[in-house]
A and B are shown apart, each in its own frame.
Chain A
Amino acid sequence: MQSEQPGNQEASLPSQTDAELFLALRNGQAAALGVIYDRHAGLVYGLALQTLGNPQEAEDLTQDIFLTLARGSSYDPRRGSLRTFLAILTRSRSIDRIRSRSSKQKLADRCNPDLQQEVSSNTPLDHATQYEQSQEVQEALAQLSDSQQQILKMAYYDGLSQSEIATQLNIPLGTVKARARRGLLKLRQTLTSFTR
């Protein structure tokens, strides 16, 4: 994985950091998007496929995510990693699509009650909030407090901003931030100790 902080070296695109590539893209170097895509398309497509459960929709969303990045996004390379930004954006937009799909289905069912199909209790949205974790990861997560686990999941997995999490959990924003960081730090320490 490439380091993500901006730098000033003038190197060829493949050797540049994510932050440098993002700024090059903003600066009109469309080719920078190709390198960003090569590094992170697997993550974006994998997340989209897992959440939407449909290769065509996952493909469509992957395209949407990278075009959003190319045409202007709120990403600030000084404040966070591009990979996390892309993952959260993908999650958030996947969930939007599932909700939109679900509401359209409900509307169609209301208009055509005769055509109403039996809906499985395990909807795509339910599926989107389920994820498989290895035994090792489960043990590492168990080392975190319930609150740390909840906040990390809400931030990274559910695509919520920290202010949204603070509002939803009714705790101060600073507490959300501190627990998320402490939780991730603990997660990393535990997972690293497993591999030693």
Chain B
Amino acid sequence: MPSDQLELLIAGYVLGDLTPEEAAEFEQLLAKYPAIAEDVAQMQTSLERAYAPPDVPPPPHLRSAILNQVHLAEPLLDTSSTNSLPSPPAVFTARQQRFPWRRVFDLAAASIILALGFYNYRLQQALQTAQPSQPDAILTYSLQPIQAGSEASARVVVDPNTLEATLMVENLPPLPPNQVYVMWTVLEPNAPFTTDDKDAILTEVFRVDEQGNFTETLPVPVVYRVEGVVTNVAVTIEDAAAPQLHVGAPVVIAQPL
């Protein structure tokens, strides 16, 4: 292989962008020429000299705090095959095979949770019908995508008593840095609260992780304590420098359950 081509492969590895074919080729080359590892290290150092600050040792207690949390979760992991190093998908298969009853139990538990959730939803609806002025019920908004074929979804669970909500977002595409997602609380027209010209209150600005997910507990406006004022909840894409302008169309939107 020409030296330049090898160097570009090394650069691709350090940048983390090798294709599967290149990764296989690089792996073979490294096995054949172990000295390539030194070039990898040099390339990594160059990248970090230009774009990363010098290493800073974290406080000593942090290491044990992190490892303790992992060890607490360790019983869920299969530690019996420590001498083999299977590829990640094989690891997950091994765990599932070791706990077949756990999987069955998980499925049963999930079914029960779903059933209870549905029961709770019906109960909540019944309560809302019977007591239209009841301010204490937990409000749940299930946001669905506007665009057909999108797998995006979000769920907002609001506790009007504490004026706190949990926002759980899944499968929203990550955005470039100049854009952000914004969650809006939309009120009925002419409600006696300060809103923008779309009858909305900016409630949360957020970005999703690389898997398209985001979960956070956040404060919500007092309007959630007033029966019938909040007509729906929506998420739009806005300019990161001015999310309050509210120029984006909804990506996911919901009526209250």
B-binding residues in A (CB < 8 A):
1, 3-8, 10, 20, 23-24, 26-30, 33-34, 37-38, 41-47, 49-50, 55, 58-59, 62-63, 66-67, 70-71, 74, 76, 78-81, 83-85, 87-89, 92-93, 95-96, 99-100, 102-104, 106-107, 110-111, 131-134, 137, 140-141, 152-153, 155-158, 160-162, 164, 167-168, 177, 180-182, 184-185, 187-188, 191-192
Contacts and interface: CB of A to CB of B under 8 A. Distances in A.
Interface stretch (B56-64, B104-112, B128-136, B145-153): B56-64
B210 A28 contact: no
Contacts of B243: 103
B177 A95 contact: yes
Given A88-B16, A95-B177, A24 B77 contact: no
Given A1-B45, A4-B37, A103-B205, 16 more contacts: A4-B40, A23-B88, A27-B86, A28-B78, A28-B82, A30-B71, A33-B66, A66-B66, A79-B16, A79-B19, A79-B23, A81-B16, A87-B48, A164-B176, A180-B11, A188-B46
Contacts of A26: 88, 91
B27 A5 contact: yes
Given A99-B205, A152-B50, A84 B70 contact: no
A192 B15 CA distance: 18
B15 A181 contact: yes
A46 B180 contact: no
B221 interface: yes
Nearest to A16: B85
Given A78-B27, A87-B48, A100-B205, A23 B85 contact: yes
Nearest to B16: A80
B27 A43 contact: no
B51 to A, nearest CB: 5
Interface string B68-88: 011101100111111111111
Given A23-B86, A99-B180, A67 B66 contact: yes
A1 B15 CA distance: 16
B44 A1 contact: yes
Nearest to A132: B53
21 contacts: A1-B41, A23-B86, A27-B78, A28-B77, A42-B56, A45-B56, A58-B58, A79-B16, A84-B14, A89-B210, A92-B209, A95-B207, A103-B206, A104-B219, A152-B51, A156-B52, A164-B176, A181-B8, A181-B11, A181-B17, A187-B50
Interface residues of B, number: 85
A140 B49 CA distance: 10
Interface string B207-237: 1011100001011010000000000000000
Contacts of A8: 85
B1 interface: no
A180 B15 CA distance: 8
Contacts of A47: 52-53
B34 to A, nearest CB: 8
